Amino acid sequence: MFSAASNIFRRRPVDPAPDAASYQVPLYTNAAYYPNWRIYRKQPPSSLRLGFVSHVFYAFAWVKEDGTVYLSDEWADTQMAVDGAEGCLRAFVQLKQQYSQMRVILSVGGGGKGSENFAATAHSRSKLETFVRSARQLVDQYGLDGIDVDWEHPANSKEGKDYVRLLSKLREALPAPRYVLATALPASQWFLRHIDLGAAQKYLDMINLMTYDFSGPWESEANHQAQLHGSPISGYSSVDYVLMQGVPSRKIILGVPVYGRSFLGCTGPGQRYAGHGGEDGVFDYSELPRPGTEEIYDERAGAAYCVGGDGGFVTYDTPATVKQKAGFVTSSKLGGLFYWHIASDSRGPRSLLETGYNTMHEM
């Protein structure tokens, strides 16, 4: 079976790529999601630093009531003129000629509407057959390298069993090592307990553990949203739980948020807040730290934030926290890192994707 961490691709430390003689074989996955709506912000594939990326997860395809997997924005995905191609999806695929290490995976699901039909589809034999057949058709039609199941999320043990069955049927249709089968899973044990992870991992090459959104507008107090250490939840505790369920470490990909969550009216974690700054309480990482604020790195927690200005307390990852997380990946022999999402990253020394890649592959 294909191993995410053993994917052999060539290092491209800068764009344009260096001479072939300077290529190195990396050991770790450095994957990134690209949400299709970012094309409307003039961020086509050609504008992204893809030389550090092993897998692009193109988000999202959705699921109809009858189980059919379909592209959520036909205009953006397949019709709009993008980088000389018809649609953003084809634009990514054509870049595989330039970035021979890169694999393009179609992510199915996501929050809200994207996942609302998963439970019924996975429970019905006929709908599941339609799901698998239509997913494979999209992979073949656009020359993709696999499917990422982003069902957010199985809500009980019955759905957990159906989720594993869905993965097994997809694996039959997308055999390894030709195709990648990945999944994105929540970090909380409260949700993961519904899934037999030991059974699920048999069909999967990559488990993208969403080790972020630990804090947000659903809580009354502000806290770190992606801390590596601490309570009640952290990247470390989430990985530890998944390992205890029998998942090989190399299949676990640790998630990094490329955005910050804002809490107005407070100056740090553990405080009640008065509201949210940014767009729906979120700032792109490229917009951080906020003007005139102080950026603070909490090494003990493996977290960072800025305080002041129009964001109040904004919790996010920085190069310092990503270095720490990349070190955790290598010391724990995990598969690598993934980022939500690439279009929010900065360039140069503040790039989270480049920092993660370079740290994991330091000689």
Structural domain for 55, as ranges: 20-258+318-360
The answer as to whether 301 is a domain residue is no
The answer as to whether 106 is a domain residue is yes
For 82-95, the pLDDT digits (tens) are 999 999 999 999 99
d(C-alpha 100, C-alpha 54), whole Å: 9
For 216-275, the pLDDT digits (tens) are 999 999 999 999 999 999 999 999 999 999 999 999 999 999 999 999 999 999 999 999
CA 113 to chain centre: 18
Peptide bond connecting 194 to the previous residue in cis, omega within 30 degrees of 0: no
At residue 26, the pLDDT reads 55
For 211-226, the pLDDT digits (tens) are 999 999 999 999 999 9
The answer as to whether 108 is a domain residue is yes
The answer as to whether 156 is a domain residue is yes
The answer as to whether 267 is a domain residue is no
- Using CB atoms within 10 Å of the CB of residue 8, give its burial: 0 to 12 exposed, 13 to 18 middle, 19+ buried: exposed
For 147-196, the pLDDT digits (tens) are 999 999 999 999 999 999 999 999 999 999 999 999 999 999 999 999 99
d(C-alpha 295, C-alpha 289), whole Å: 6
Domain count, the chain: 1
DSSP assignment string, 118-187: HHHHHH-HHHHHHHHHHHHHHHHHHT--EEEEEES---SHHHHHHHHHHHHHHHHHS-TTTSEEEEEEES
The answer as to whether 312 is a domain residue is no
Alpha-carbon separation of residue 228 from 8, 94, 255, 326 (angstroms): 28, 36, 11, 11
Closest by CA position to 105, among listed 54, 49, 63, 69: 54
What type of residue is 250?
A: R
Q: How many CA atoms lie within 13 A of 26 on its CB side?
A: 29
Check if the beta carbon of residue 105 is closer than 8 Å to that of residue 144: yes
The answer as to whether 298 is a domain residue is no
For 302-360, the pLDDT digits (tens) are 999 999 999 999 999 999 999 999 999 999 999 999 999 999 999 999 999 999 999 99
Closest by CA position to 54, among listed 363, 289, 361, 362: 361
CATH number at residue 94: 3.20.20.80
Question: Is 299 considered catalytic here?
Answer: no
- Give 362's pLDDT tier (boundaries 50, 70, 90): confident
Per the residue annotation, which of 152, 159, 287, 354 is the catalytic one?
152
At residue 93, the pLDDT reads 98
